[in-house]
Chain A
Amino acid sequence: MDPVIAFIIAKYNYWMYIILMMIGLCGMIIKKNLIKKIIGMNIFQTAIILFYISIAAKKNATIPIIAHAHGDGHAAVNAAGIINPLPHVLMLTAIVVAVATLGVALALAIKIYRQYHTLEEDEIISQIRE
């Protein structure tokens, strides 16, 4: 196999998150519609959430639930056989943050629509200039 393709495939999770992040960033910068910008913002945040989730994965590992952990569960935990639960926990918080951001952004979009009767940024700016 071509070494370049091998390099891309070996690190495909990073490529995916960077592509998603750039899609989100483009949405925020290029699109003129405020709702599309908000969608771009959400894709951007989701890309970073997926990045965290992907670094938790391990080959041939199982979910981080230990049966019969109470009592004598401490002794024999094979860390290599269990995926890392910490990034998942962190991302639960990040998802809450992303949802809250989305909520505030949409609420403001409603307010903007009531004020200017449009969600196209250039139309709003031309209204402000008048």
Chain B
Amino acid sequence: MNSHFPALIIVVPLLSAFVIVMAGWLNKKYCFPLAAAALGSSLVSAVAMLSRVMDSGPFTYHLGGWAPPWGIEYRVDHLNALVLVVVAAVAFINLIATRAIVRADFPEKTGSFYGLYSLFATGLLGVVVTGDAFNLFVLLEITALTGYALIGIGKQHAPLASLNYIFMGTIGASFYLLGVGYLYLATGTLNMADLALHLSKISGSTVVLAAFLICLTGLYMKMALFPLHAWLPNAYACAPSAAAGIIAPLTTKVMVYVLIRITLFVFTPAFTYAHLPLNQAMIWLASLAIVMGSILALSQKSLKKILVYIIVAEVGYMVGGLWIGNRISISGSILHIVNDAAMTLCVFLAAAGLQFKLKGDSFIALRGSFRKMPYTMAALVVGGLSIIGVPPTCGFFSKWYLISGALTAGTYQFVVALLLNSLVNVVLFFRIFEIGYFEPFPGQDSHRGQKAQAINEAPLSMVAMLLLVSAGLIALGLFSSDMVTRIILPSIPAGIL
């Protein structure tokens, strides 16, 4: 039992997805408990694997007993054990928090929604746990296809946004597949550890360089790095709130994890950082992504639209940290995967709660929201402060690592972009706080002496999870140095200074 966790973590939600859909035909009440049980068991497996890795180091699992490089190998080390816990925790928390919203939004399609949700989580967990380059593609497409469907069932322009996401996502995944094809052509293997072994011998080959660049392009498209971000804002803003709460925090972060896995563990650091002009170009690109994400966020007129452009900027943080390429900046990148998933979950849950109660997320709808929904807005404040980077919230610490890494490497453009983005985030969030706190409710003359608007909070499960996540943001901040020394630093390959 204990040794089967790498398989169980994806098999349980995978099979549950079908059971959930079938249970939905009998009685819609069964769907939520089944989904919660499936994702809860994934969370248990993830935590168990993290503690095992911290005790006794990385371990592998051979699916069906076939030894690598012929069979598919699942490999758990410090890096992906950490990301697995993040993915499973976000999926589980969002599931609990959005129960009432799902019931209201999809009274007829509860079974299908939870089935898709469970499959989506399966795909993400599989992408993180797998040690096989082609298996990663298949799981990536499971994630993407369920993601398209989850976005497409939204209202308004969701189907069009989802179709545009399909085009971009398919190009991205196909490029990754093509890159893997070139790797297979050059080495004759698909297992990541085996690939790393073979690639270190032929690192001068142009086929390998082509494979590297093609894979990078595909992954950048999938993670929405500026200027390949065009699909993300509409798709995430149109997605139903219950789906946005898992898609927005996890998809881009898991893709950054894949980027780190491919660049540092398949192509070795010696190869990845061998092309200095390429590194410089990538750092400039990441800085540009941060700046452009900030500028585009400033021009938006609704809460969700602001949040999606913040995601575009945050992707630049993690990609930049990777390409700066010293231990501090890469720690910052990995820490930011964790922190950004948590903060994005926090703000998206808050936005979902606001939208559920206020019937909109435009600036006008948000007026007076502090009095109406004090706990939700308190959580939004913590999430906002964390995205701005105010200590002791976790956002501060990953920015600290990224900035000190960039200063060590002398890449000042990245530091400037980071600081600029923090300032823009201050403007963005304080504008929302101001509207929520000082502007009167719609249809009211002044904000003095009004007891008229009673507290009308989001559902209890939502508020409880929001408070848990916002407490988690502070806890992640307080324990971040522990996390870096015990989990993140051991996960970085030895070749990096």
Contacts and interface: CB of A to CB of B under 8 A. Distances in A.
A90 B162 contact: no
A11 B13 CA distance: 45
Given A104-B145, A108-B148, A111-B152, A28 B167 contact: yes
Interface string A92-113: 0110010011001101110110
A20 B462 CA distance: 49
Pick the most buried of B134, B178, B181, B184: most chain A CB atoms within 10 A of its CB: B181
Interface stretch (A1-9, A47-55, A57-65, A67-75): A47-55
A108 B163 contact: yes
A62 B134 CA distance: 25
Contacts of B185: 55
Contacts of B174: 44-45, 48
Interface in B155-172: 157, 159-160, 162-163, 166-167, 170-171
A124 interface: yes
Tell me the interface secondary structure of chain B in the complex. helix
Contacts of B177: 48, 94
A44 B170 contact: yes
B73 interface: no
B160 A124 contact: yes
Interface residues of A, number: 29
Given A45-B174, A55-B185, A115 B159 contact: yes
B149 interface: yes
A25 interface: yes
Interface in B128-149: 134, 137-138, 141, 145, 148-149
A51 B178 contact: yes
Interface string B172-186: 011001100100110
A31 to B, nearest CB: 11
Contacts of A41: 166-167, 170-171
A104 B164 CA distance: 12
B183 to A, nearest CB: 12
A124 B171 CA distance: 23
B264 to A, nearest CB: 25
For A90, A100, A105, A108, which residue has the most chain B Cβ atoms within 10 angstroms? A108
A37 B159 CA distance: 15
Nearest to B161: A108
14 contacts: A28-B167, A41-B166, A44-B174, A45-B170, A48-B177, A52-B181, A55-B185, A97-B137, A97-B141, A97-B145, A104-B145, A104-B148, A105-B166, A108-B152
